[in-house]
Amino acid sequence: MKLDMNKNEFKSFLLHAPQDKVLKYIENIHPVDILDIVRENKDDIKDILNRLPEDFIAGIIDEAETEEKYEILTCFSENKQKNIVEEMSSDELTDLLGILDEEQANKILAHMTADEARKVRRLLSYDPDTAAGIMATEFISIKENMTVEQTLKYLQDTAEDIENIYDLFVIDNFDKLKGVVSLKDLVTNKFDALISEIINPNVVSIPCEMDQEEVGHLFEKYGYLTMPVVDNFNRLLGVVTVDDVMQILRDENTEDIHRLGGVADGEKISGTTMESVKSRLPWLIVNLVTAILASSVVGMFEGTIEKVVSLATFMPIVSGMGGNAGTQTLTIIVRGLALGELSYKNVKRVLFKELGIGFITGAAIGIIISVLGFLWEKNITFGIVIGIAMILNMIVATVTGFLIPLILKKCKVDPALASAVFVTTFTDVCGFLFFLGLATMFVKYLV
Amino acid sequence: MKLDMNKNEFKSFLLHAPQDKVLKYIENIHPVDILDIVRENKDDIKDILNRLPEDFIAGIIDEAETEEKYEILTCFSENKQKNIVEEMSSDELTDLLGILDEEQANKILAHMTADEARKVRRLLSYDPDTAAGIMATEFISIKENMTVEQTLKYLQDTAEDIENIYDLFVIDNFDKLKGVVSLKDLVTNKFDALISEIINPNVVSIPCEMDQEEVGHLFEKYGYLTMPVVDNFNRLLGVVTVDDVMQILRDENTEDIHRLGGVADGEKISGTTMESVKSRLPWLIVNLVTAILASSVVGMFEGTIEKVVSLATFMPIVSGMGGNAGTQTLTIIVRGLALGELSYKNVKRVLFKELGIGFITGAAIGIIISVLGFLWEKNITFGIVIGIAMILNMIVATVTGFLIPLILKKCKVDPALASAVFVTTFTDVCGFLFFLGLATMFVKYLV
């Protein structure tokens, strides 16, 4: 990090230094660094931002979380808002408009030129979770008959305001994508080379309706910095850049982790107590219902437990081990689905593998717990009952942990969302049924 | 995707088409696409690769997983290996050598020029999880007194073999980093502009010992494509590029998700049954020990359960709800720690928040379960006992889910690794103690 002042110094510099010095200094500062200052000094937000040029404010808004964008934008007069909106990139503007109500959105759209507004309205019409929903429409397109030198001069004239120009897209007269020339190809070839000589025609393009998570996997696979988005006629619509994709992948990962842990997607460390309660209570109530289901299985066997009270002592082990084994499998499966590692090709092999794992780990844990059960109750039947129940329970756990995410995926429900509750309920119910059921069958040998 | 053949066609094209056609075609193909073919046709690996040029094979090895790299490299004669190694990038070569035994590594080092070998030996000396461990040493450095045109010509002569040239780093005569000029700045400025006029001196650099996960967060924050790595004297050592960082972040996320789910980091969907058993059994045994701990608490109260057998029926609800509430909190905390959202500044506020959440959700669930307990047992004391136990249990759960990840982090243990087992053990033990303890205290009102 090379800011040569600490955050407090930087804040007072932004507020009090002569404006020409501020303008000169921020030329080389990333907007996100100013966003940090603004976030920590909400009271001074207007005073700080009003000293900055409009294109830089647009840059800060581009970096802000979607909910913050509107808050920052509305710090300014209508007129200034208009100028800032003009400087914002189309994808960030679309994100902002997407969360506003119609009245607010129309106000901002009214600030734009007819042409710009039409462009943004079209972007808004795409599903925000698809390639078209995340693409930007600012990009450099060139023609095959240009030379390297002509292209460089064209860039000198036009590229200043375009965020990412590391790939230049070659299109024909009907906007169809012909190929790509990277900026590297451009600068490492002689000035008089033709674009048609250095074009890469095998450009990997993204269909506009592709899901954003899949777009993320394409970027991870190829390591590209930008990728073009095309419609069904291979016409170039826009570009997706790697920094947007990183944010998407981070958010998708957070979503998966949160869902696996049973909290709502949007819960934030910085949120209020009541927001967290709202995020968690519904899930706890779902879990309460399923826990009651498991309990009612136990309730069916109260007669047996009354005769052999040690069964109650071993119940937490049965449910705990089943839950853990099921969670292990579902973790592997849910992550494998998210990364695209599990496919129709290997699904059968993985099922048999999980069966095998359930049997082997069940046998290992079953033998240990048999011995413990025998020692605790001084009864060999008790040991055999808990041991067999454990093996059966662990096999059910791994198979359930495998099947449930796949079934949810088939039903178009995110496997991360609901797998855990189904798997643990199923293993609890089956575990108690096996354990207490077997105990009831052999109760005369247990007392 | 624009490969104009399917995978089988592509494979037979690679194997059987005239070699000049193959060479022409692959010029515009990403090496990862050939890697896909090679992975699915292990028998033909030598035949396919032997038709490709050495720099392209180096590109394929660069894209391969670390374990695959050696497998591919050793398909070739010693002499050809030498040529391929020369074309590999220093960071990928270091990854490869890092997993080989000394004899294998020395064999490959012997293939390199003395200068190259020294460079790679130095890279190997860095901790592989730090910025220095993931950086590449191929980059473009320029001087302040060059013009844009001179720089472009310099790039035309030298940049061909360097993977990523989107940022040009300006250094002084002592290799100290003075600033950065992006390729975009270069091509959007006039040919006669001086580098000193367009340099950005506020370059964000990475200290060489920074942990790779933190490096990932810097990239996420700034959205840069490359970042320079410097030593303590601000001398430029190498660069990290965003595509390497994406892979690191993906692997760190998978690691966190796997650890939270209680499976070993390296377990893969494609692995064998025994690999999975090895990944999971140790963790299941740890869980067995902790489950026995929870069970022994229940064992202490067998006398009470014998008198009031419905206590056994409600036990799964107590442990289930405590476990879920604890898991929710620890999910939020572990993810917050991974994303750097939890800091010393807000830690106290978050603790009080979790206490509040525990109390409110505990009260809500407690009231419901009280009523259910009363209806099941037709005894008001039973309802009160299970209700109070539930409130206490949920408060303990949220506080434990908050504290344990932080304590583990303080002890330099990954919070994702062991939090879940500690939290669920603690909530099970406390939950049973509260519930069965209270029941024992008021047992005369329960029978």
Element (H, E) at B380: helix B380-410
Residues A97 and A151 in one domain: no
Q: Is the pLDDT of residue B3 over 60?
A: no
Q: Tell me the average pLDDT across A22-44.
A: 85
Q: Tell me the average pLDDT across A421-432.
A: 92
For B272-309, write each residue's pLDDT tens digit.
999 999 989 999 999 999 999 999 999 999 999 999 99
Range of the domain at B212: 141-243
A246 shares contact with chain B (CB less than 8 Å): yes
Q: Output the CA–CA distances (angstroms, integers) from residue B21 to A199, B27, B46, B51, in the order listed.
A: 17, 10, 19, 11
A200, A269, A288 member nearest B342 (Cβ): A269
Asked if residue A285 is part of any domain, the answer here is yes
Residue A382's identity, in one-letter code, is F
Q: Are strands B226-230 and B236-241 parallel, antiparallel or unpaired?
A: antiparallel
Which of A95-99, A222-226, A390-394 is the least confident region? A95-99
- Residue that terminates a domain, selected from B125, B156, B174: B125
Q: Please tell me the distance from the alpha carbon of residue B67 to that of residue B90, in angstroms, as a whole number.
A: 17
> Per the CB < 8 Å rule, is A312 touching B320?
no
Residues 6+ apart with CB under 8 A from B200: A27, A28, B179, B180, B181, B182, B185
Which residue has better confidence, B26 or B320? B320
Which residues face A229 on adjacent strands? A206, A238
Interface of A with B in 360-389 (CB under 8 A): 360-361, 364-365, 368-369, 372, 376
Structure tokens at B140: 């473009």
Supply the pLDDT for residue B322: 94
Which of A79-88, B276-285, B380-389 is the least confident region? A79-88
Residue B396's identity, in one-letter code, is V
CATH number at residue A326: 1.10.357.20
Q: Please tell me the distance from the alpha carbon of residue A421 to that of residue A329, in angstroms, as a whole number.
A: 14
For A271-281, write each residue's pLDDT tens digit.
899 999 998 99
Give the residue among B358, B338, B312, B329 at the shortest CA–CA distance from B255: B338
A345-A350-A352 Cα angle (round to 5): 120
Instruction: Tell me how many domains chain A contains.
Output: 3
Q: Is B67 exposed, middle or buried (0-12, 13-18, 19+ CB in 10 A)?
A: exposed
Per-residue pLDDT band for A179 (boundaries 50, 70, 90) equals very high
Asked if residue B1 is part of any domain, the answer here is no
Supply the pLDDT for residue B173: 92
A153 shares contact with chain B (CB less than 8 Å): no
Is there a contact between A362 and A294 (Cβ–Cβ < 8 Å)? Answer: no
Residues A356 and A428 in one domain: yes
Supply the pLDDT for residue A159: 77
Which of A91-100, A365-374, A425-434, B184-193 is the least confident region? A91-100
Supply the pLDDT for residue A2: 44
| B315: alpha, beta or left? (left if phi > 0; alpha if psi -120 to 50) | alpha
Helices (H), B74-141: 78-87, 90-99, 102-110, 114-125, 131-134
Give the residue among B261, B383, B265, B262 at the shortest CA–CA distance from B317: B383
> Per the CB < 8 Å rule, is A313 touching B299?
yes
For B401-419, write each residue's pLDDT tens digit.
999 999 999 998 888 887 8
Q: Is A410 exposed, middle or buried (0-12, 13-18, 19+ CB in 10 A)?
A: exposed
Residues B280 and B238 in one domain: no
> Per the CB < 8 Å rule, is B246 touching A372?
no
Supply the pLDDT for residue A262: 87
Supply the pLDDT for residue A4: 65
Element (H, E) at A284: helix A273-300
Q: Tell me the average pLDDT across B255-261.
A: 90
Residues 6+ apart with CB under 8 A from B162: B138, B139, B140
Residues A433 and A399 in one domain: yes
User: Per mean pLDDT, which of B39-43, B263-267, B398-402 is the most reliable?
Assistant: B398-402
Residues B337 and B442 in one domain: yes
Supply the pLDDT for residue A312: 95
Taking contacts as CB-CB distances below 8 angstroms, the residues of chain A near B204 are: 1-2, 30
Supply the pLDDT for residue A42: 81
Q: Is the pLDDT of residue B334 over 70?
A: yes
Residues A314 and A425 in one domain: yes
Residue A406's identity, in one-letter code, is L
Asked if residue A314 is part of any domain, the answer here is yes
> Per the CB < 8 Å rule, is A361 touching B281?
yes
**Helix, coil or strand: residue A230:** strand
Residues A87 and A148 in one domain: no
Residues B118 and B145 in one domain: no
Which residue has better confidence, A286 or B68? A286
Supply the pLDDT for residue B434: 96
Q: Tell me the average pLDDT across B368-384.
A: 94
Q: Tell me the average pLDDT across A64-85.
A: 84
Residues B289 and B336 in one domain: yes
Asked if residue B249 is part of any domain, the answer here is no
Which of A322-331, A408-417, B105-114 is the least confident region? B105-114
CATH number at residue A190: 3.10.580.10
Q: What is the mean pLDDT of chain A?
A: 89
**Residue A429, number of CB atoms within 10 A of its CB:** 21
Total CB pairs under 8 A between chain A and B: 345
Residue A86's identity, in one-letter code, is E
B26 shares contact with chain A (CB less than 8 Å): no
**Percentage above 70 pLDDT, chain A:** 99
Give the residue among B35, B257, B209, B342 at the shortest CA–CA distance from A336: B257
Asked if residue B260 is part of any domain, the answer here is no
Supply the pLDDT for residue B2: 44
Q: Is A24 exposed, middle or buried (0-12, 13-18, 19+ CB in 10 A)?
A: exposed
Residues B149 and B118 in one domain: no
Residues 6+ apart with CB under 8 A from A96: A61, A66, A69, A70, A73, A88, A108
Q: Tell me the average pLDDT across B187-203.
A: 89
- B379 φ, ψ (degrees, to nearest 5): -145, 120
Element (H, E) at A418: helix A415-441
Residues A294 and A435 in one domain: yes
Q: Is the pLDDT of residue B106 over 80?
A: yes
Supply the pLDDT for residue A265: 77
Asked if residue B421 is part of any domain, the answer here is yes
Q: Is the pLDDT of residue B265 over 80?
A: no
- Residue that terminates a domain, selected from A125, A149, A167: A125
Q: What is the mean pLDDT of chain B?
A: 89
Taking contacts as CB-CB distances below 8 angstroms, the residues of chain B near A267 are: 332
Q: Is the pLDDT of residue B1 over 60?
A: no
Is there a contact between A428 and A295 (Cβ–Cβ < 8 Å)? Answer: no
> Per the CB < 8 Å rule, is A302 touching B309?
yes
Asked if residue A264 is part of any domain, the answer here is no
- B203 φ, ψ (degrees, to nearest 5): -70, 135
Residues B432 and B332 in one domain: yes
A331 shares contact with chain B (CB less than 8 Å): yes
Q: Tell me the average pLDDT across A4-11.
A: 80
A11-A15-A21 Cα angle (round to 5): 100
Structure tokens at A77: 């007069």
CA distance B30 to chain A (A): 7
Supply the pLDDT for residue B183: 87
Structure tokens at B186: 């270069």
Q: What is the DSSP letter of B182?
A: E
CATH number at residue A89: 1.25.60.10
Q: Is the pLDDT of residue B398 over 60?
A: yes
For B137-165, write each residue's pLDDT tens digit.
888 899 999 999 999 888 888 877 777 78
Supply the pLDDT for residue A382: 95
Is there a contact between B183 and B144 (Cβ–Cβ < 8 Å)? Answer: no
Supply the pLDDT for residue A404: 94
Q: At what angle do helices B66-73 and B90-99 cross, to 10 degrees?
A: 90
Supply the pLDDT for residue A3: 54
Asked if residue B106 is part of any domain, the answer here is yes
For B170-179, write each residue's pLDDT tens digit.
999 999 999 9
- Residue that terminates a domain, selected from A97, A125, A153: A125
Q: How many residues does chain A have?
A: 447
For B341-353, write each residue's pLDDT tens digit.
888 788 999 999 9
> Per the CB < 8 Å rule, is B166 touching A165?
no
Q: Is the pLDDT of residue A66 over 80?
A: no
